[in-house]
Amino acid sequence: MFNRRLYLVISEESCKGRDLVTVAKAAVKGGVDLIQLREKQLDNPAFLERALRLKEALVASRVPLIINDNLWVAQQCCAAGIHVGNSDIPPLSIRVQWPSCGILGYSIEYEKQIYTAEARASDYLALSPIFATPTKTDTVTEWKLEGISKIRALTDKPLVAIGAIHEGNAADVIKAGADCLAIVSAICGAADPEKAAAAIRLQIEKAL
């Protein structure tokens, strides 16, 4: 069962020169309860090394580590799960190749995708992006609050919202129907990641 509320999507680039593990641990102290490591530019050995280092740092807090779009790394580091999008390995294939996958997330970019076998094979659906963001240059649908509410009425799957979400709009996104907020720059790029995470977590709790 997917019951997470504040989901950090982290990469070395998003941390703006700071140590990725240090930022992640601070964010966890602030209330992050799930972390996805996203490293599109790294080769497998470098990605795995970073994943293992991050996973080890999260042991004490018991915050699960999800790997973005790299099944080999996810399996090798015994991650809690994997997150994929439309151009990545399909969820049904992941279920076959990694039967013990704990959390399988799938990004949807248009409404009809919620009716597909790939969506049904996933543990949660990510709506991406909620608001246009410079970190996503291939946007198909900018969901906005109305889009969250529409998809919420069409599926019982947990919904993760991502894309330009921050302390100022977090409560509105939850009220619109999202179960969990996935954050990149509002935490990774913050001067104080712990404080930033805590502020967003507070808004989530207020909106529930």
Confidence (pLDDT) at 138: 67
Catalytic residue among 107, 122, 128, 201: 107
Q: Is 40 annotated as a binding residue?
A: yes
Domain count, the chain: 1
Write down the catalytic residue from 4, 5, 25, 38: 38
pLDDT of residue 180: 98
Concerning whether 87 is annotated as a catalytic residue, the answer is: no
Domain residues for 156?
Answer: 6-207
Own/partner long-range contacts of 70-76 (Cβ < 8 Å, ≥24 apart): 70/44, 71/97, 71/98, 72/44, 72/48, 73/44, 73/47, 73/48, 74/98, 74/101, 76/48, 76/51
For every one of its 208 residues, what pLDDT tens digit does the chain have, with 9 covering 90 and above?
789 999 999 999 999 999 999 999 999 999 999 999 999 999 999 999 999 999 999 999 999 999 999 999 999 999 999 999 989 999 999 999 999 999 999 999 999 999 999 999 999 999 999 998 765 666 678 999 999 999 999 999 999 999 999 999 999 999 999 999 999 999 999 999 999 999 999 999 999 9
Residue 77 lies in a domain: yes
Among this protein's residues, is 136 annotated catalytic? yes
**Annotated catalytic residue, options 18, 29, 95, 136:** 136
Task: Indicate whether 1 belongs to any domain.
Answer: no
173 falls within a domain: yes
Asked whether residue 135 is domain-assigned, the answer is yes
- Was 184 annotated as part of a binding site? yes
In a domain, 78, yes or no: yes
The pLDDT score that the predictor gives to residue 124 is 98
Does residue 47 belong to any structural domain of this protein? yes
User: Is 202 assigned a ligand-binding role in the annotation?
Assistant: no
The model's pTM: 0.96
Report the largest interatomic distance among the alpha carbons of the chain, rounded to a whole angstrom.
Answer: 42
Query: Would residue 95 show up in a list of annotated catalytic residues for this protein?
Result: no
Residue among 176, 137, 193, 172 nearest 16 (CA): 193
Helices (H), the chain: 20-30, 44-58, 71-76, 91-97, 117-120, 144-152, 170-176, 185-188, 193-207
Residue 104 lies in a domain: yes
* Contact assessment for residue 43 and residue 57, using Cβ atoms and an 8 Å cutoff: no
Residue 134: per-residue pLDDT: 64
At residue 136, the pLDDT reads 60
Question: Is 38 annotated as a binding-site member?
Answer: yes
Distance between CA atoms of residues 21 and 186, nearest Å: 17
Give the end-to-end CA distance of the chain in Å, rounded to a whole number. 18
Domain with residue 160: its CATH number is 3.20.20.70
For residue 159, is it within any domain?
yes
